[in-house]
Structure 1
Amino acid sequence: MTETPTPAVNQVWADNDKRGYGRRVRIVEVNGTHAVVEQVIGRDHAPAQPGRRTRIRLDRFRPISTGYRYVGEAER
């Protein structure tokens, strides 16, 4: 089993919540207890709205039903 890395800038994570199926986010900043992310792919694999940012608690970056799973590093 692969170990989940510590959330860091330029990583891509997928939303495990069934309401956000297909959503992927890229971490752009990490501050204390939260990460600032931009959507890479929206829900149901729809194109993401460019520039929209959201804050997510760091403890949600783990592969549970309402968390996020690590996908890989973002392409540059």
Structure 2
Amino acid sequence: MTDTPTPATGQIWQDNDPRADERLIWIQRIDDTHAHVRQVALTQDGEPVPLPSVRRTRIRLDRFKPTSTGYRYVGEAQR
């Protein structure tokens, strides 16, 4: 089993909520308590492409863990 890394700028995470339909988010910035993220799709090369008309949002850092209400680490963006 792979350890879940500490959230960092440039990482891609997947929403574990089954209602989210495999939503991928890209961490663009981190502050003391939140990650500022943008929903993305990945190209075949693994490059994140922000989805149009999807707002940017903030997610508490303590939610970045692989639980049913958390997020699963996917990898580093290829940018």
TM-score range, shorter chain: 0.7 to 0.9
The answer to which of 47-56 and 9-18 deviates more is: 47-56
CA distance in 1, matches of 2:53, 2:31: 22
RMSD, matched Cα: 1.6
Alignment of 1:1-76 (within 5 A): 1-41=1-41, 48-49=51-52, 52-76=55-79
Counterpart amino acid of residue 22 in structure 2: G
Opposite residue 3 of structure 1, the aligned amino acid is D
Normalising by structure 1, we get a TM-score of 0.86
Structure 1 Cα separation of the partners of residues 53 and 28 of structure 2:
13
TM value normalised by structure 2 = 0.83
Structure 1 CA distance for aligned equivalents of residues 52 and 76 of structure 2: 20
Q: Which has the higher helix share?
A: 1
Structure 2 unaligned blocks of 5 or more: 42-49
Tell me if the contact between 1:39 and 1:50 (Cα under 8 Å) persists in the aligned partners: no
Whichever residue aligns with residue 58 of structure 1, its letter is L
Residue pair 1:16, 1:65 contacting (<8 A) in 2 also: yes
> Counterparts of 2:55 and 2:76 in 1: how far apart (Å)?
19
2:47 corresponds in structure 1 to none
Q: Which runs of 5+ in 1 are unaligned?
A: 42-46
Q: What is the aligned residue count?
A: 71
